Structure 1
């Protein structure tokens, strides 16, 4: 536990929601029994973590076809605009 009473890993995207198989993220095994889990994951998925998750989703893609291509293109364009600002 840190000085604030929160675990040291609190809000650390890479520690509490690491990439798993197939490029998808999953809650770390040690987090399931933590009483701070929900708040911690919300903090991890906000701010810079939100950008990371958004970019990963854009790169993962959608089903094939024109609709899937357009969704991927739109997500990548939005992610690119966010990087520029």
Structure 2
């Protein structure tokens, strides 16, 4: 399965994980701690993993096809940007 990864420079990784997981927990399968998260997108048979470090948020998305992967990169990115509020995130996906 194709995988994309992004290392996002931010001091707010833990806050982003918390906000995003609370938001998605109403409709997706979500497991998270202060520093780690796993979000399952059952309809797309895909998974997003996040890990907060002191100055970055590591994000990976795994999907069954390149098309689904690109779609979920956009979904995850737009939601992270929304949860960041006034902080500008530079998100560059690598696969």
TM tier relative to shorter chain: 0.3 to 0.5
More strand by share: 2
More helix by share: 1
